[in-house]
Amino acid sequence: MKFSRVRLILAMASALMMATHAEAETLKVRVGVIPVIGASPLFVADREGWLREAGLDLSIATFESGPNIIQAAAGGGIDLYVAGIAPLAVGRTKGVDFRVVAATAVDENVLVAGAKLHSYFKSGVAPAAAFRQFHADTGRPAKIATQPPGSVPAANLQYWLREAVHVDPADVQIVPIGIDATQQAILANAVDAATVREPTLTIIQQRNPAIALIASGEELFPGQPGTVVAVYGPFLERHPEAVQAIVNGIVRAIDELQKTPDRAVPHIEAALSKGIVDQATIRKSLSSPAVHFVADPQAIMASTKALLAYQVKLGAVTEAPSIDGLFDRRFYEKALGKEKEKTVND
């Protein structure tokens, strides 16, 4: 009897030591993310369990824009940033050291219009003329919702209006609001147009089929850089193996999203909508013209440089932030090699 009790106590002590050891080996990673389809690779990698297998425990907080994440990061509260690239570069000029280790998507931001404004976008009518006529007929400029100044969506919109289609600034009124507020505003006809990403594009068109696309991501800004994965510099230096595991997961997740998207849908639905948006809507959004998954950070380097230069013209920054040191491609290269090796072995 005593022997059995001793064995039981020893077994309990052993289990406690193993649990404590496992907890000590688990690395907490604080993530700031904008909840859009472009961030799906992170959600897939996390919910497939690949990052947990690597000893990572992600604590994910959602934000309305990249600048908001940078504000949180400046206080030391973020290890991993998953959002647009422009706020990162600006943040680096202010001492917030983040390095892009992977891209996730490009050409995400598109411009949609409600039925009233869209009726002016007829075949053969230039966008500038459409906005001008809308202003003349309604007695007010068209209201366009986008994210705050300094964000990628705001810069994309301004580029299209000013440089691509040369709209008279008097014919538009820019309304800077968050993602959720934008969705509500365009559906309530509180604004006439909006820059949106998926799954918002699919959601609003399902609820109101009269909302139409008037400019694609590539049209808004050539080579439009989208969501990226960036790591806080000190975290990267202390935990390079964790960063490698994250990038491995991103590359693997993008492969899954491209080859077997149905498998990824439940993970995205759980992360993005928490039951508010059904899986059929998420699946449809994955086939959207606003979704182009890309993992290689080099694919967006040139367009990032161009976007940052344009931010100067907008007055978002006084000098274009340098991209020197902003990109760290070695983790992607190693992950790509691992994925190729896995494909050959399979």
What is the three-state SS of 195-223?
A: EECCCHHHHHHHHCCCCEEEECHHHHCCC
Kindly state the tokens that stand for 72. Answer: 């949180």
The span from the CA of 227 to the CA of 35, in Å, is 11
Assign 287 to helix, strand or coil: coil
Q: Mark whether 239 and 257 lie in a shared domain.
A: yes
One domain for residues 236 and 341: yes
pLDDT at 10 over 70: no
Position 1 in a domain: no
pLDDT of residue 5: 56
Q: Is the pLDDT of residue 8 over 60?
A: no
Residue 287's pLDDT band (cuts 50, 70, 90): very high
**Domain annotation covers residue 85:** yes
Query: Is residue 103 within 8 Å of 224, Cβ to Cβ?
Result: no
Q: Is the pTM of this model over 0.75?
A: yes
Whether residue 128 sits in one domain with residue 196 = yes
**41 pLDDT above the threshold of 60:** yes
- Tokens 């009897």 locate to 1
Q: Which residues contact 7 (CB under 8 A, 6 or more apart)?
A: none
Is residue 96 a contact partner of residue 181, using CB atoms and an 8 Å limit? no
Whether residue 14 is contained in a domain is answered as yes
Mean pLDDT on 235-245: 97
Same domain, 236 and 99: yes
Q: Within a domain: residue 232?
A: yes
| 57 and 129 share one domain | no
Q: What pLDDT was estimated at residue 20? A: 39
Share of the chain above pLDDT 70, in %: 90
Residues 124 and 193 in one domain: yes
Nearest to 153 by CA among 214, 243, 81, 217: 217
- Whole-angstrom Cα distance, residue 80 to residue 86? 16
Let me know: does 30 contact 57? Beta carbons within 8 Å. Answer: no
Domain boundary (196, 220, 244) is at 220
For residue 18, name the pLDDT band (cuts at 50, 70, 90).
Answer: very low
Last residue of a domain, one of 166, 196, 220: 220
**144 three-class SS:** strand
Mean pLDDT of 291-312: 93
230 found inside a domain: yes
For residue 337, the model assigns a pLDDT of 83
- Which of the listed ranges 60-64, 191-195, 270-274 does the model predict with the highest average pLDDT? 191-195
Shared domain check, 81 and 57: yes
CATH number at residue 162: 3.40.190.10
**What are the percentages of helix, strand and coil residues in the chain, rounded to 5?**
55, 15, 30
Q: Do residues 242 and 286 both lie within one domain? A: yes
The tens digit of pLDDT for each residue in 104-134 reads: 999 999 999 999 999 999 999 999 999 999 9
- Is residue 2 scored above 80 in pLDDT? no
Query: Do the beta carbons of residue 80 and residue 249 sit within 8 Å?
Result: no
Question: What pLDDT does 345 receive?
Answer: 57
**Of 167, 188, 220, which closes a domain?**
220
Instruction: Spell out the alpha helix ranges (H) of 108-260.
Output: 115-118, 127-138, 152-159, 179-187, 200-207, 217-220, 233-238, 240-259
- In this prediction, residue 275 has a pLDDT band, given cuts at 50, 70 and 90, of low
In a domain, 69, yes or no: yes
User: Is the pLDDT confidence value at 3 over 50?
Assistant: no
Cβ neighbours for 121, distance < 8 A, ≥ 6 positions apart: 113, 127, 130, 212, 214
Whether 183 is covered by a domain: the verdict is yes
pLDDT of 344 over the 60 cut: no
Average pLDDT over the chain reads: 90
Q: What is the pLDDT of residue 23?
A: 44
For range 130-139, the mean pLDDT: 98
pLDDT at residue 172 is higher than 90: yes
| pLDDT(65) > 90 | no
Q: Which two tokens stand for residue 132?
A: 């001008």
Chain Cα centroid distance, residue 89: 15
Q: At 173, which amino acid appears? A: Q
- Asked if the structure places residue 50 within a domain, the reply is yes
140 plus 92 within the same structural domain: no
Confidence of residue 21 (pLDDT cuts 50, 70, 90): very low
Range of the domain at 207: 110-220
pLDDT for position 19: 42
Number of domains in the chain: 2
Residues 229 and 316 in one domain: yes
Does one domain contain both 246 and 280?
yes
- Do residues 334 and 190 both lie within one domain? no
* Cα 268 to Cα 198: distance, rounded to the nearest angstrom: 12
